[in-house]
Amino acid sequence: MNALESMLIRFGLLKDDLDYHLLRASMVIIFLAFGYQKWWEYEAQVLIPYISNGPLIFWLYPVFVGTVTIIPFMPNGWDPAAGFPAMAGNVPFLVKDIVLLAVSFYLLKQDVMRASLSARKTADTRTAAASVAGASLTAPNQ
């Protein structure tokens, strides 16, 4: 285990928030790969039958598509022999949206915290600079 840890440290993989950067990069790739389709008519037409079966979302279709809410109501979404929770059809594909939603909230929280910390550091630096400048103006000449 120490050899693996040493190798990861040597390559710089255990510093500088690697987990955060990997999550962000993977989300960008996933949103580019899957998200671009959501803006085209053909994708909207494919989703209509699924959305119309979801009592939590059918009324939102003209405004917003939230695929997580249609998972429980997906036609043929559960294996006929095993039943719930054995997924079938498009349900396994849609389950990824649960992870994507959770990671999106995590990254948003991290970005808000980073921005807040950065703003606080900037304000502290300006306050310190202003107090130094003010002290030098009021100091008696020697």
Kindly report, residue by residue over 12-45, the tens digit of the pLDDT: 766 777 788 888 888 888 888 877 777 778 777 8
In a domain? residue 53: yes
In a domain? residue 137: no
In a domain? residue 44: yes
Q: How far is CA 54 from the centre of its chain?
A: 24
pLDDT at 58: 63
pLDDT at 95: 84
Mean predicted confidence (pLDDT) in 70-79 = 82
CB 51 within 8 A of CB 65: yes
Pick from 64, 52, 66, 54: which is nearest to 97 by CA?
A: 66
Range of the structural domain that residue 47 is part of: 33-115
How far apart, in Å, are the Cα atoms of 89 and each of 61, 63, 80, 92? Answer: 21, 26, 11, 7
In a domain? residue 141: no
The C-alpha atoms of residue 8 and residue 80 are separated, in whole angstroms, by: 46
Predicted structure pTM score: 0.57
In a domain? residue 19: no
pLDDT at 113: 92
In a domain? residue 23: no
Mean predicted confidence (pLDDT) in 111-140 = 77
Q: Which helix (H) or strand (E) holds 84?
A: none
Mean predicted confidence (pLDDT) in 104-122 = 89
pLDDT at 108: 92
The C-alpha atoms of residue 66 and residue 88 are separated, in whole angstroms, by: 19
User: What domain count does the chain have?
Assistant: 1
